[in-house]
A and B are shown apart, each in its own frame.
Chain A
Amino acid sequence: MAKFQKKRGKSNPTISTASLPDIIFMLLFFFMVVTVMRTSTKMVSVVTPSVTELTKLEKKSLVNYIYIGVPKPEFRDIAGTKPRVQLGDKFADMNDIPLFLEAHRQKVDERQRGLITSSLRVDKDATMGIVSDVKVALRKAGQFKVNYSAKKRAE
């Protein structure tokens, strides 16, 4: 039939790459949005435990982080090998916690201060002694909302 002529040979079949940048940009924007630039360097090694009952933390600006774990090898000379507390980007002890919480509270809008959550990122091999001390310090400072950071465990 006349309508079904062979088209082979008439045009050279190249895929247009004009839309390639657009696709790449789309990926780029995705990663730009999900990226969180780390504000402080971690000086303690933390591997969080895995649990099943997880709650998601909603607003990043209303969360402050307290790390507890064994200092990384490069800091062992000054910090020892026992689990330590890290606030912001320095090692701290229990007396520094109220000031750290207050500094974060100042940055938050007054109406939302009751919603501030402390995220405790504790290494799974740390003992409860140091964690209990931090808990007492948080209670003394009036910070009652606490989130024990953990990973999802497959059931």
Chain B
Amino acid sequence: MAKKSVKDRMSNEVNAGSMADIAFLLLIFFLVTTTIAEDKGVLVRLPPWSEEPPEVLKFKTRNVYSILVNANNDLLVRNEPMKIEDLKEGVVEFILNPNRREDYSETPNDAIVSLKNDRGTKYETYLAVYNEVKAAYNELFDGEAQKQFGKDYEFLTTPQKKSVREVIPMKLSEAEPSSFGEE
């Protein structure tokens, strides 16, 4: 129409009412496609591979805490069956040896945790065992850090962490799995 009132021409604003709708559309799209990343896990350092069979090292039996897991996901700790729930406590007591027992480690420095599983062991069980051992060591690190610096282990600086780990080194040995069970 040719005739337009002056008032109509002056109101040259973009209608922002639909902006919210557009934004909602995008929002819903991103809501649907989002998977909040679960990038967490148990960090492990593998030993280097060598073709030669490993050197046979002899340790005193009292210094080795052997954990065997069979294909039925049962634990055999130092020739005694054990439940996973009791493992952490057992490891802590073995390493610290507060009661100076003859069959537990001489010093935390000598203590070795040996882990062996079967090819038929469930991954869940393996990781649960690994987690318990790691939890035990983390508890020991925290205890030692409190003693030396009065702080938890994770708040220490790198040289401080080193001095804690000199007292309690994490010695975890993983043997090649046996293959008795069905995979």
Contact A49 B127 (CB under 8 A): yes
Interface of B is mostly: mixed
Could you say which residues of chain B place their CB within 8 Å of the CB of A36?
34-35, 37
B48's contact among A35, A124, A130, A139, by CB below 8 Å, is which? A139
Contact A21 B20 (CB under 8 A): yes
Cα(A81)–Cα(B156), bound, Å = 48
Contact B123 A139 (CB under 8 A): no
Q: In angstroms, how far is the closest chain B Cβ from the Cβ of A88?
A: 18
Contact B23 A51 (CB under 8 A): no
Known contacts A20-B20, A52-B131; A149 and B41 CB within 8 A of each other: yes
A61 on interface, CB distance cutoff 8 Å: no
The size bracket of the interface on A is 35 or more
Q: In angstroms, how far is the closest chain A Cβ from the Cβ of B132?
A: 9
B14-32 Cβ-contact flags toward A at 8 Å (1 or 0):
0011011001101100110
Cα(A27)–Cα(B34), bound, Å = 13
Contact B23 A28 (CB under 8 A): yes
> Smallest CB-CB separation from A147: which chain B residue?
B41
Could you say which residues of chain A place their CB within 8 Å of the CB of B118?
128
The size bracket of the interface on B is 35 or more
B57 on interface, CB distance cutoff 8 Å: no
- Give residues of chain B (90-138) contacting chain A, Cβ–Cβ below 8 Å: 117-124, 126-128, 130-131, 134-135, 138
Could you say which residues of chain B place their CB within 8 Å of the CB of A151?
38, 40
B58 on interface, CB distance cutoff 8 Å: no
B162-183 Cβ-contact flags toward A at 8 Å (1 or 0):
0000000000000011010101
> Smallest CB-CB separation from B17: which chain A residue?
A17
Contact B41 A28 (CB under 8 A): no
Cα(A18)–Cα(B19), bound, Å = 10
Known contacts A48-B38, A139-B48, A150-B42; A125 and B20 CB within 8 A of each other: no
- Give residues of chain B (1-60) contacting chain A, Cβ–Cβ below 8 Å: 16-17, 19-20, 23-24, 26-27, 30-31, 33-49
Cα(A152)–Cα(B20), bound, Å = 37
A148's contact among B33, B44, B47, by CB below 8 Å, is which? B44
Could you say which residues of chain B place their CB within 8 Å of the CB of A122?
123
Cα(A90)–Cα(B126), bound, Å = 26
Q: In angstroms, how far is the closest chain B Cβ from the Cβ of A153?
A: 9
A138 on interface, CB distance cutoff 8 Å: yes
B135's contact among A52, A126, A143, by CB below 8 Å, is which? A52
A92 on interface, CB distance cutoff 8 Å: no
Could you say which residues of chain B place their CB within 8 Å of the CB of A48?
38, 41
B124's contact among A24, A57, A125, by CB below 8 Å, is which? A125
A positions within 8 Å CB-CB of B: 17-18, 20-21, 24-25, 27-28, 31-32, 34-38, 48-49, 51-57, 60, 63, 82, 117, 119-120, 122-132, 135-136, 138-140, 142-152
Closest 5 CB pairs of A and B: A129-B119, A124-B124, A139-B49, A31-B30, A24-B23
